Amino acid sequence: MASFLLVCTTSLLLIILSSYIYQLLERTRSRLPPGPVPLPIIGNLLDVASKLPHRSLWRLAERYGPLVSVRIGAAVVVVVSSPSTAREVLKTHNGSITGRRPPDAWNGAGHATNSLFTLSPGRRWRELRRIGAEHLLSPRRLDGHGLRHAMRAALLDMRRRISKSATDTAAAKPVEVGGVAFETMAELMWRAMFSCGLDAATLRELHGVAREAVRLALTPNVSDFFPAVAAMDLQGVRRGMAKQVGKVYELIDQEIDKRRRAREETGGGGGIVDEQEVDLLGVMLDMWEVDEEEVDEVVMNRDTIRTFLTDVFLAAVDSIPSTIEWAMAELLQNREAMKKLKEQLNSVLGSKECVECSDVDGVPYLQAVIKETLRLHSLVPLVPNNAEDTVEIQGHVIPKGCNVIVNLWAIHHNAEVWTNPCKFIPERFLQCNKEEFNYQGTEDFEFMPFSAGKRLCLGLPLATRMLPALLGSLLHHFEWTLPKEAKENGLDMSEKLGLTLAMATPLQAMVKAM
Ligand code: HEM
């Protein structure tokens, strides 16, 4: 028995050693970008494993250069960390490096099958993306009557809610800034999707669901690095995600059923108020009905509707509140910037009851504060792609099937591009020509919080309208200060990475009505 065990152990060690040597030789032969030497089996897991991978990958780039390759379990990953290498991925070779390999979590409830975030750029992705960009989240639709009305209603509700805390001076308690922004965005999205508001219990439930779903979405998961064991879902991440996504599906299904019944009763839309017919669900149901008649071209059905609406809902209630929270945290610590911004808002808005998106176009410092927040706290720090063909970048080979991560956070902190990259200086966006730093992914690929190329964020038109309107509203109508404890001990600015990069300790602030 002992000799049998010895033979088994020796064989196992030999297999591990030879696969290790093979990996090293393969790396030299294949002209992969440089990187740390991988260990047997786990590869470079120890070099990159961290709760904040954008920072550990940034440190690797400082040592090995703007193109680094690492091996994590069975996967080869190339990390891109400079404007010039990002241009190669997001422009020159954009046709070949926009594939997706969805994290296993996204397979929960089959979500990845129809999710724009995880579909590879085939026909289904193209069609869903076109529908999203042209019909659902286009500037024309967002500036149309229905959505402008929903935005206004959500902002007025926010003002009312904060006013309650602001006037209750006897028991003045700090307000959770991200929570307020979450409620506003959730209300807005529900109105935009279904033309109805959310009751307090559903709002609370959705807050819990969103928090858990964004945590699970990118949780480091052994199933992603060792696909051979993925079916077991050892950490329960896929099951957890299925549960959260399932709750949103359930609420969306109820709205779909309600609307379909109403359409049947009124003979296909007649009698239903106009507002409902132009909301996102109304537009998607119209497409579904057309698709049902043309059986060959089915893109829209119950699955695609609920996946799309779940995606945009979660993206909006996570990304925009997190950005607002970071911006407020920076402004609360930088009283000069806060004062300057409030003065500009005051001179442009005067005593306006509600800040609308169109008003705040004329407040350059507000736009600069938002850009600087998105640079310093890059909300989506890492953009994952998959190479669908082998390509060559700056003399290195990126093999087909390899994961290619663009480290937007590292690019936004590149000291060759940004003076004092770790400091909050909104003025840097005022000193340059306006076109130079638009949001569409600049020509020089130095500032691109929404990424660039074919997979540029679909929510960009909504985000660039809601961010200034929301931040402008918070600041124009209220006076904000840090709670006593944060004033004395400093604010905890540490990060937590979920679907987006959020503040690890939710920001609390004292508020007074103006
Ligand atoms: C501060 C706000 C936001 C930031 C910084 C942001 C950033 C990003 C980034 C960096 C990507 C990855 C692009 C790529 O793969 O190259 C992305 C994708 C995406 N975003 Fe956003 N986003 C924001 C808000 C939103 C909102 C509000 C929505 C929806 C209403 C949204 C919907 C999407 C979708 C659907 C994709 C996937 C696009 C695709 O792969 O085709 N985002 N976003």
At residue 42, the pLDDT reads: 86
Model pLDDT, residue 359: 86
Task: Please tell me the CATH code under which domain 31-513 is placed.
Answer: 1.10.630.10
User: Is there a contact between 206 and 197 (Cβ–Cβ < 8 Å)?
Assistant: no
Is 324:437 a contact under the CB 8 Å cutoff? no
Is residue 280 within 8 A of residue 131, CB to CB? The reply is: no
CA–CA separation, 187 and 108 (whole Å): 26
Which residues of the chain carry a pLDDT beneath 70? 1-29, 167-171, 268-277, 294-298, 432-436, 441-442
C-beta separation of 237 from 225 below 8 A: no
Ligand 1 centroid to Cα of residue 297, in Å, is 27
Interval between CA 171 and ligand 1 midpoint (Å)? 39
State yes or no: 422 annotated in a binding site.
Answer: no
* pLDDT for res 182: 97
Which DSSP string corresponds to 119-166? --SSHHHHHHHHHIIIIIS-HHHHTSHHHHHHHHHHHHHHHHHHHHHH
Q: What do you get for the CA distance between the two ends of the chain, in Å? A: 82
Q: How far is the CA of 469 from the centre of ligand 1 (A)?
A: 19
Q: Does the beta carbon of 450 sit less than 6 angstroms from any atom of ligand 1?
A: yes
* pLDDT for position 18: 56
Ligand 1: does its nearest atom lie under 6 Å from the Cβ of 463?
Answer: yes
Question: Is the confidence metric ipTM above 0.90 for this complex?
Answer: yes
pLDDT at 277: 57
Which residues, 6 or more positions from 106, have their beta carbon under 8 angstroms from its beta carbon? 112, 115, 117, 118, 217, 241
Q: Is the CB of 379 under 6 A from ligand 1?
A: yes
Q: Where in the chain are the domains?
A: 31-513
Ligand 1 site-directed mutation target among 457, 462, 501, most atoms within 8 Å of CB: 457
pLDDT of residue 13: 60
